[in-house]
Amino acid sequence: MVAAEKTADSQGNSYAQMMETAGHSLAEAIIERYPVEGASVLVLVGPGNNGGDGLVAGRYLAEAGADVAFYLFKPRDPAKDENYAKIQQMGLFAVEASFDQRFRVLRTRLNITDILIDGLLGTGVTRPITGDLAKLIQQAAAGLEERRADLVDLARSALTNLTDFSDKVTPSPGHPVTIAVDCPSGLNCDTGELDPLALPADLTVTFAGPKRGHFIFPGATAVGELVVADIGITPEMVAAVPVEVATPELARELLPKRPKDGHKGTFGKLLIAAGCEQYRGAPLLAARGAFRVGAGLVALAVPTTLRLGISIALPEATYAGIEEEGRLTAVSAQHIHQTAASYKALLVGPGLGDADEFISTLFPADGAAPDLPTLIDADGLNCLARLDNWWQRLPANCVLTPHPAEMARLMGISLAELLEMDRIETAVAQAKKWNHVVLLKGAYTVVAAPDGRVTVLPFANPVLAVGGSGDVLSGVIAALLGQGLSPYNAARLGGTLHGLAGELSGQNRGLLAAEIADLVPKAVNLLANH
């Protein structure tokens, strides 16, 4: 950002203009979400550009009818600081921390605050919060807690209904809300480290683009809703290759076309090789995800003992000519080799169990794998991990969708070692090494391509943490492969639709994997019609 801002300034987008744009955008984001007219707003003003953004935002909020006050951590000279001079000319209340004995003014103002704007520290801060700033933030946090407790007490009824837990329960008040300028103070925007004194935000408005720390835990827990404001910095001004974040606009562009004269063959025929006696539901969930995202035909290469149950639950599916009962073996792999030309894409892995013979035959050492766009998940990955140089056995540009434990096995390291590594850098490095697309699952899933491109999916919803959720995801992505998307685009669109389905549920627990699949059409339609 330092380099990008310097480039923008040299090309005519001055620092002053960027600050004005940033502050105005910050105010705009607040006005769109919260009642501002008559609201009590307190802006914590740091010594750098972050504080300057807060001064500008406060000015615009005052013009919108808010009662705005400014609390300055360090003195500012109105003769040299145009934005500070402007708030003085408007007669807005401002106090410097050095004049506030025992933080009495700060605590008094917090007692009536509806909206707190945290403009203390910016994205470049990496040191621990200490000294006077630590004391100020501790007082701010204590004041916010008191304010919230007072509001809860005011809203509490003297009556307790022991038989009705419905809408008659008094909701907790929404105020005061905390708005972070660029990032919550105390968040390291490179590493995601979070200072113990950091102020968690309800809304973070960041500028030009999101920062990695916004999506790395524990820092991600403090970000709240994340909004990016355009301040006139173009991608060309960013020195390093940026990490892309999936947006509704990106997903909309990637959606496969649905011509009115299309037929089931138009929308892809997918083969799913999955399942064993112990994991009977996995192929069903994968097929359900594939159908829900628009696959025209889905054929299942599953052991014969699974067919009856699947056919009852999903009569739309067809079946490959597999005759083995309990699990897939080399015979099944040979059949897939012989019939691969009949399909547009192949999904291998969900619920396979210990199927080393099947995997080693399907993907032989000489590299003569079925020449199909292929996704490998779950037990397919676990079986591969037991083979030397397994990535050389696969057809070009596979999609690999490991969760962290599967990723560690593929890399030949412990899970503890993996969890200490940067998720983005790890996915990028392994995609390059293996020459396949890697979708590393988890909160803020990372999709990396062999050429170095990488997309972060902006979803961290525990509702997706349920058995079978990954099977649905693999079915969605594989179906998009069958509809003609490239491996990288299929992975990032499929992951976005899966994450959005979770968001559309309106829940954070209790959603079944099949219900996630059933919300995928709603996610598609939301994007298509937005």
**pLDDT tens per residue across span 115-141:** 999 999 988 788 899 999 999 999 999
Q: What's the gap between Cα 170 and its chain centre? A: 32
Whole-number pLDDT of residue 300: 98
464 within domain boundaries? yes
The answer to whether residues 386 and 267 belong to one domain is yes
335-389 pLDDT tens trace: 999 999 999 999 999 999 999 999 999 999 998 999 999 999 999 999 999 999 9
Interatomic CA distance for residues 143 and 10, integer angstroms:
42
Which one, of 204, 212, 183, lies nearest residue 454 by Cα?
Answer: 212
372 within domain boundaries? yes
Of 187, 216, 242, the residue that ends a domain is: 242
Cis status, amide bond into 173, omega within 30 of 0: no
The answer to whether residues 22 and 144 belong to one domain is yes
The answer to whether residues 258 and 231 belong to one domain is no
- Tokens representing 397 are 């540009």
Interatomic CA distance for residues 246 and 458, integer angstroms:
7
> Residue 400 belongs to what H/E stretch?
strand 399-400
Three-state DSSP class for residue 376: strand
| 169, pLDDT greater than 60 | no
What mean pLDDT, rounded, does the chain reach? 94
The answer to whether residues 128 and 72 belong to one domain is yes
Whole-number pLDDT of residue 158: 81
One-letter identity of residue 96: E
More confident residue, 390 or 150: 390
Q: What's the gap between Cα 149 and its chain centre? A: 31
476 within domain boundaries? yes
Q: Give the domain CATH number at 67.
A: 3.40.50.10260
Q: What is the mean pLDDT of residues 497-512?
A: 95
- Tokens representing 184 are 């919550």
Whole-number pLDDT of residue 166: 64
The answer to whether residues 282 and 145 belong to one domain is no
Which one, of 199, 204, 23, 50, lies nearest residue 110 by Cα?
Answer: 199
Interatomic CA distance for residues 487 and 370, integer angstroms:
16
The answer to whether residues 374 and 521 belong to one domain is yes
| 202, pLDDT greater than 80 | yes
The answer to whether residues 175 and 276 belong to one domain is no
Residue 357, CA distances (Å) to 137, 360, 393 in order: 60, 5, 14
208 within domain boundaries? yes
Whole-number pLDDT of residue 240: 65
| 507, pLDDT greater than 70 | yes
Q: Are 224 and 198 in contact (CB under 8 A)?
A: no
The answer to whether residues 199 and 272 belong to one domain is no
The answer to whether residues 47 and 135 belong to one domain is yes
The answer to whether residues 209 and 268 belong to one domain is no
491 within domain boundaries? yes
- Per the structure, the complete domain to which residue 337 belongs is given by 248-529
Whole-number pLDDT of residue 241: 59
Q: Give the domain CATH number at 297.
A: 3.40.1190.20
496 within domain boundaries? yes
Of 242, 270, 295, the residue that ends a domain is: 242
Three-state DSSP class for residue 272: strand
The answer to whether residues 202 and 238 belong to one domain is yes
The answer to whether residues 176 and 282 belong to one domain is no
Q: What is the mean pLDDT of residues 420-431?
A: 96
Q: What is the mean pLDDT of residues 442-469?
A: 96
Whole-number pLDDT of residue 152: 82
Of 192, 227, 242, the residue that ends a domain is: 242
Count: domains in the chain? 2
356 within domain boundaries? yes
Interatomic CA distance for residues 417 and 68, integer angstroms:
48
Grade residue 56 by pLDDT with cuts at 50, 70 and 90.
very high
| 248, pLDDT greater than 90 | yes
227 within domain boundaries? yes
